[in-house]
Structure 1
Amino acid sequence: MNLDDPRAQRSRARLRTAILELAAVKDPAAITMSEVAKHADVNRATVYQHFPDVNALVTDAMEDAVEHVAHAAALCPLDAPGDDVPQPLNDLFQGIADNAALYRRMLGPQGSALLAARMRERLTTELVTSFREGRRPAGFDDVPDEVHAAYLAGALIGVITTWITKNASVSAPTMALAFWRMFRR
């Protein structure tokens, strides 16, 4: 299969959308390839041409979310005041709130440890790159870039997970501000 073929790209996009819609309302472990095919309005064989199983499809579909989290966090200006949340961070928390059911299912107790690890890894990579471009908070020169980035990535993923699974009634702007204040200290 040629992944550059527009038909293959359309099929993959439909499959990603279908799995994310299904995963927002149902445990991914209980989703079948047949359900995905029906929801995406494609033949079941098409699903298997692109993905060997539901886990591979979920992982692939969540890659955009992982990328969004990592990119938004790395864009935050480090010189913003503690009470002035950078817009990329506000956008990040609002995007998570808008898709809370999906994130809750993916990062919650029954969720994918692989997804949380992937998010942490991707975020760490983005932050290391950002640090090496001169966008690192002052006062941490004695800490290796990778260690500092991993610490911040773990903190952000932990805050997001706790927020969406235990404190979902807290607004996105309130959580973004809380995280920003903790991050800045």
Structure 2
Amino acid sequence: MDPRAAHTQSLLRSAIVTLASDRPITEITVKDIIELAGVNRSSFYQHFESREELLAVALEHLETEMARADEPVIITDVSRPPAELVRFMHHFADNAGLYRGVFGPNGSALVVARVRARILELVRAGILISPEYRRLTDLPVDIEAAGTSGALLGVIEAWLAQDPLPAPETAADWMWSVLTRTRPL
């Protein structure tokens, strides 16, 4: 990719994340984004069709940086959530305002669908590459990944709706309990 285009996209991603951390996407204009990013309107539309697409791409970028999907999940103690899951929850806690806006009543269906698809992709990849993974069911991988990602997102959405926000470690314990059907510590 052209370094100038990459720089412009980075500025736009940073601007939308900053803006969407404070207010719903429905209240953010392209003018707000380009002013904060320091780029012109044509540069915005050269790279993105809408503010929703920009937000979806920005979240995918953040989640890719956080996920490290090419690293296997290492489960050393099934009574506790793996460190990767705790790291995942810290990502959501660090960006709680942003994700509350995404999943909230004024969120964008496009952005939510892309976040859901991304989490499904990460879960599926994790199932396929994890050497510690042992099939406990006869479900097809895609079905198991869909169920797991749906459970994860359900816990994330319910956790983010709480005020004050419980610790990421608590949310990871809740998720692990849902996924393993064990009682949280």
TM tier, shorter chain?
0.7 to 0.9
TM norm structure 1: 0.85
List per-residue Cα deviations over 1:94-114 (Å, max 9, x = no partner). 111111100100112221333
Classify 1:23/1:138 alpha carbon distance in 2 versus 1 (closer, same or farther; 3 Å): same
Matched residue pairs, number? 179
Percent identity between the two aligned chains: 33
CA shift at 1:151, angstroms? Answer: 0.3
Distance 1:62 1:178 in 2: 23
Distance 1:161 1:86 in 2: 20
Q: How is 1:70-149 mapped onto 2 (pairs within 5 angstroms)?
A: 71=68, 75-78=72-75, 80-82=77-79, 84-133=80-129, 134-140=131-137, 142-149=138-145
Structure 2 stretches lacking a partner, 5+ long: none
Q: How is 1:29-68 mapped onto 2 (pairs within 5 angstroms)?
A: 29-67=26-64
Classify 1:150/1:10 alpha carbon distance in 2 versus 1 (closer, same or farther; 3 Å): same
Matched, 1:159 2:155: yes
- After TM superposition, where is structure 1 displaced by more than 4 Å over at least 4 residues in a row? 68-72
Equivalent in the alignment of 1:10? 7
Partner of 2:22: helix, strand, or coil?
A: coil
Classify 1:78/1:115 alpha carbon distance in 2 versus 1 (closer, same or farther; 3 Å): farther
CA shift at 1:68, angstroms? Answer: 5.2
- What is the RMSD of the two structures over their aligned residues, measured on CA atoms? 2.2
Structure 1 stretches lacking a partner, 5+ long: none
List per-residue Cα deviations over 1:80-102 (Å, max 9, x = no partner). 322x2211111111111111100
Distance 2:157 2:118 in 1: 16
Distance 2:109 2:100 in 1: 13
Matched, 1:174 2:174: no
List per-residue Cα deviations over 1:40-99 (Å, max 9, x = no partner). 111222212221221121121111234357656x843345322x2211111111111111
Classify 1:126/1:97 alpha carbon distance in 2 versus 1 (closer, same or farther; 3 Å): closer
CA contact (8 A) 1:106 1:112 kept: yes
Classify 1:167/1:77 alpha carbon distance in 2 versus 1 (closer, same or farther; 3 Å): farther
